[in-house]
Amino acid sequence: MLFKINDISETPSAKLIGGKGLQLANLTYLQQPVPEWFCISTSMFEQFLKDISSLKQNYNDRYQQIIETPLPRNIQLALENAILDLLQNSASNALSVRSSATVEDSIAASHAGQFDTFLGVNDVKTAICNVKQCWASLWSERSVKYRDQQNDANQASMAVVIQEFIPADISGVMFTSNPVTQKITECVIEASWGLGELIVSGQVVPDHFVIDTAQGKTSEFEVVTKKLGSKNEALFWNKKQKQLEKKPNFRYFQQNFVLDESQLFSLTKLGLKLQAQFGCPQDIEWAMYNDKIYILQSRPITSV
Amino acid sequence: MKQETEFPVVWNEPAEANLSWFFDMVHFPNQVTPLDFHFLINTMEKGINQAAQIYEMGFKDHYRFINTYIYDAPELDNSSPEEMTARTASSQQKLDTAIANLDQLWKEQWLPEIKEHISYWEEFNPSQVTMPILLEYLSETEKRLQRMWEIHFLLFWPMMLVLNYFEEMYQDIFGDNDQFQAYELLSGFTNKTIEGNQMIWQLSRKALASPIVQEVLTKNIATDVTNKLAESVEGQTFLTDLNRYFQEYGKQSDKPLLSSPSWLENPVPVIKNLQNYITQPDRDVVGEMEKATLLREQQITRASEALECYPQPVQNKFEKFLKAAQVSYVLSEDHHFWIDCKVSYYARQVSLEFGRRLSESGVIENQDDVFYLSLEEIKQVSTTTVSLHRLVNERRATEKNFSTCTPPPFLGKPFPEEMFDDPFYRALEKFFGVMATTTGKEKQELKGYAGSPGIVQGTARIIHTLDEADKLQPGDILVTKTTTPSWTSLFVSVAAIVTNSGGSLSHSAIVAREYGIPAVVGTGTATTTIQDGQMIEINGNSGLVRFL
């Protein structure tokens, strides 16, 4: 089935919509600014698998098999409609397709980056193909190996989140408590131009900010550290070509901080709200587009 | 060792030797007099430092009068790294605010104030007042000059910064294979320099339409032209037009120095220019310049299309930089007309009045001996009859002594390398072009900065003053130390330009591009390396001059 947040017939669980899906469900219930989304549940994945008589052993063969096997007609139609609907309501006219494994993002083990994610998908056919790729990535060499080490092999299933794609102007991460100094009254924000992928993967050195939140009130926040990052590249969404492009960043943007004080404080305020709602310090991925902040992901800080 | 004997340097304080001094060839390529230093340059120094403080720029500028030449050293603040980071951020914010409001600041604050200073000077007649009132006027003038210079630099720094920001952003988008393309988006707007030049050009068309005026201009030497024009009715009408030009644009000269008469006082350079222009009856200068406007519009369209691939904040930033850079491109000429020229003109007028009075009372021999005194000396002797003849003669001898020397480009401590890796210094280099002089020179060529695109061969004409304009033949290449906007009326009549000083955003380069003639600027030594009359090829794209 397709899990939609307004659909109250199913209680969201990691088993049903995967770790990432559950995160989004929680954020949505908390009325956080999350890009529009829905989820292809694990039950749908399993229904699809049932139609395949025998899965190939070799990963590459199995991958090919999954891509080539057509979806059951009812799933195909429901999915097409849901994707088209989201595409039309998306500001960028594009979507993200994200794996949401049942073992991912669990509090015990951070599986970050083990499964596929597709950004800037702008037609139904590609989106459906990406969904299958996400499914297949459950058995990719690196994720199998990772699960072996974590002793949770074979119990994993895969949901897929389809979400409005945010063609971020600025993105970054935020730690609502300082993971380095362990200070809970400090919020750490790292930010750079374009999409956050280059920051998360460590390909650019972002600007680094530490905000003192001891006083609690936004009007009394204080930026206590500011470090200019080199930010020498940026992943921008080319809205004309409808594709992502990694470009050398502009010298002016490199030499100046990407966020001003008011933007930093808006982010901090949002971060503290999340920390209060979840009851523990959060590690947040966020994006800014047309001056609006979006929360892409929020999970407990594993090191604090 | 040789340099020491030719150019001995004695510092007032030992600490001065630890500063990095450079010879400002853009503004003062020639010798200056003691009064230039004490009146013009001292007020400028104060104005700069006032503006630097307002923008929290973290440096203090020092000017020294060394062997009759002007040296400039920025002294950086001795603050801790933390203080420096905080100061830089605050300074950046102030400069960025000024950049965002440049047009408004100029039109609504600075220009009205400049005009107020000008009317103060215009309404005062120094020859009609008693000495105490004249002395008061002198002090008031000093104050107002300082404020004029302060405005000059409040404008100058954001202006240069945004021109550099714009150029760098343009290159980051389109690649830096052709630096001139960025300037094409800024060209084709009128400015005071172009307006003045166009007015002489139009006068030359009027002269061509009147056989009588044309004959006067062709048959007489420049110094006789005004008198001869007055002899006929048609000539008188033309003179009226010419005077209108002098009233508006005549308060400038080819050198921004006190000893240099303005065109209003000595119209000969302008007359020579007119004489030159009427030898070009078939040119359509106005039409030629409209091409730049057309090209600008095309290039802006091209840039906007390319920018559609980028997120909105990038497009917004580019738009902002483009607007501010277009304003700056015009103001880089206009501020010279409104500030530099006026400062020199009115300071000269009051100096001349003291010169007249002091020579009458016998303190000095001639009126222009006054340029060899300091302001303090003038004030002290204003009501006495003390003879300063010997002092003046000594100073004139010193001037003569150093008239043929080549002042070293740098003195004191070398400039730290890391200083150049900063957008502010990159911006200043585009104006001053100071670094080019350090590059090695091949025998067959001379390296400078690319100033305006195109490759041209022609006869080199070394010109030191505008008064030599009559040496120029169409197709010649103008070779000169520096060109302030006042020189640019010559650009219509030459095939290309080579200068000793300046960078790609210096007056000469900007105006050369407006006229569409190739220029190589900042060669350091063109006026001594190139022989007058020599055949040369200049490549304005690469910044190279070849000897043929």
Secondary structure of residue B496 in the 3-state scheme: strand
Considering only A47-61, A186-200, A201-215, B253-267, which range has the smallest mean pLDDT? Answer: A47-61
- Residue where a domain stops, chosen among A149, A164, A179: A164
Inter-chain CB proximity B313 and A226 less than 8 Å? no
B416 touches chain A (CB under 8 A): no
In a domain? residue B529: yes
Separation CA B68–CA B71 (nearest Å): 10
Pair A116, A177 in one domain: no
A190 pLDDT above the threshold of 80: yes
Pair A127, A177 in one domain: no
Q: What is the DSSP letter of B107?
A: I
Domain count, chain A: 2
Separation CA A297–CA B7 (nearest Å): 69
In a domain? residue B514: yes
Secondary structure of residue B309 in the 3-state scheme: coil
Separation CA A163–CA A127 (nearest Å): 11
- Residue where a domain stops, chosen among A164, A186, A211: A164
B317 touches chain A (CB under 8 A): yes
At A55 the pLDDT is 82
A112 pLDDT above the threshold of 70: no
Residue A256 CB contacts under 8 Å (≥ 6 apart), including other chains: A228, B92
Residue from A180, A191, A187, A190 nearest A221 by CA:
A187
What number of C-beta contacts closer than 8 Å exist between A and B?
A: 44
Q: Which residues of A touch B172 (CB under 8 A)?
A: 248-251
Q: Which residues of A touch B310 (CB under 8 A)?
A: 236, 238
At A219 the pLDDT is 81
Pair A215, A199 in one domain: yes
- Return the percentage of chain A with pLDDT > 90, whole number: 56
B89 touches chain A (CB under 8 A): yes
Pair A150, A212 in one domain: no
Alpha-carbon gap: B541 to the closest alpha carbon of chain A (Å): 24
For residue B445, give Cα distances in angstroms to B439, B477, B498.
Answer: 12, 15, 13
CB-CB: which of B85, B311, B423 is closest to A255? B423
A144 pLDDT above the threshold of 70: no
Q: Name the average pLDDT for chain A.
A: 87
Inter-chain CB proximity B169 and A252 less than 8 Å? yes
CB-CB: which of B172, B311, B313 is closest to A237? B311
A178 pLDDT above the threshold of 60: yes
The residues of chain B scoring below 70 in pLDDT are 1-5, 176-177, 420, 434-443
Residue from A242, A241, A246, A243 nearest A192 by CA:
A246
A169 touches chain B (CB under 8 A): yes
Separation CA B460–CA B519 (nearest Å): 13
Pairing of strands B20-23, B59-66: unpaired
Window 258-287 of B, Cβ < 8 Å to A: none
Q: Which residues of A touch B169 (CB under 8 A)?
A: 250-252
Residue from B300, B335, B328, B293 nearest B103 by CA:
B328
Q: In this predicted model, what pLDDT tens digit does every residue of A232-249 receive, in sequence order?
A: 999 999 988 889 999 999
Domain count, chain B: 1
Query: Is this complex scored with an ipTM above 0.85?
Result: no
Residue A301 CB contacts under 8 Å (≥ 6 apart), including other chains: A175, A176, A177, A179, A280, A281, A282, A283
In a domain? residue B460: yes
CB burial readout A45-74, b (16+ within 10 A) else e: beebeeeeeeeeeeeeebbebbeeeebeee
Reported confidence tier of residue A147, pLDDT bands at 50, 70, 90: low
Pair A239, A294 in one domain: yes
In a domain? residue B295: no
Amino acid at A214: A
A292 touches chain B (CB under 8 A): no
Domain span at residue B484 reads: 439-547
Contacts 24+ apart (CB under 8 A), B164-168: B164/B423, B164/B426, B164/B427, B164/B430, B164/B505, B165/A252, B165/B99, B165/B321, B165/B325, B165/B423, B166/B321, B166/B322, B166/B324, B166/B325, B167/B325, B167/B430, B168/A250, B168/A251, B168/A252, B168/B423, B168/B426
Pair A57, A11 in one domain: yes
Separation CA A239–CA A259 (nearest Å): 23
At B438 the pLDDT is 44
Ramachandran angles phi, psi of A210, nearest 5°: -120, 125
Rg value, chain B, Cα: 24
Tokens at B482, concatenated? 């520096």
At A104 the pLDDT is 54
A255 touches chain B (CB under 8 A): yes
Token match 């010879």: residue?
A: B23
B81 touches chain A (CB under 8 A): no
In a domain? residue B512: yes
What burial class does residue B294 get, using C-beta atoms within 10 Å of its C-beta: 0-12 exposed, 13-18 middle, 19+ buried? Answer: exposed
Separation CA A250–CA B164 (nearest Å): 13
Pair A150, A246 in one domain: no
Query: Does residue B502 come out as left (phi exceeding 0), alpha (psi in the -120 to 50 range) or beta?
Result: left
In a domain? residue B10: no
Residue from A277, A84, A255, A40 nearest B422 by CA:
A255
Token match 């957008």: residue?
A: B423
At B474 the pLDDT is 84
A68 pLDDT above the threshold of 50: yes
Separation CA A289–CA A169 (nearest Å): 5
- Residue where a domain stops, chosen among A115, A136, A164: A164
Query: Does residue A291 come out as left (phi exceeding 0), alpha (psi in the -120 to 50 range) or beta?
Result: left
What burial class does residue B445 get, using C-beta atoms within 10 Å of its C-beta: 0-12 exposed, 13-18 middle, 19+ buried? Answer: middle
Pair A231, A131 in one domain: no
Domain span at residue A223 reads: 170-300
Which CATH number belongs to the domain containing residue A294 in this structure? Answer: 3.30.470.20
Separation CA B201–CA B206 (nearest Å): 9
Reported confidence tier of residue A109, pLDDT bands at 50, 70, 90: very low
Pair A246, A231 in one domain: yes
At B393 the pLDDT is 97
Inter-chain CB proximity B169 and A194 less than 8 Å? no
Pair A154, A188 in one domain: no
Ramachandran angles phi, psi of B201, nearest 5°: -60, -45
At A1 the pLDDT is 65
The chain B residue lying nearest A260, using CA atoms, is B93
Q: Which residues of A touch B423 (CB under 8 A)?
A: 251-252, 255
Tokens at A201, concatenated? 């993967």
Instruction: Give the global pTM.
Output: 0.87
Give which of A250, A256, A264, A292 to mutate to test B binding, by max B Cβ within 10 Å: A250
Task: Please name every residue paired with B460 in a beta bridge, in sequence order, or none if there are none.
Answer: B477
Which CATH number belongs to the domain containing residue B502 in this structure? Answer: 3.50.30.10
Kindly provide the residue ranges of all beta strands, DSSP E only, lying in B294-448, ordered along the sequence.
Answer: 410-412, 445-447
In a domain? residue B44: no
Pair A206, A286 in one domain: yes
Q: Residue B49's Cα: distance from chain center in Å?
A: 20
Pair A185, A243 in one domain: yes
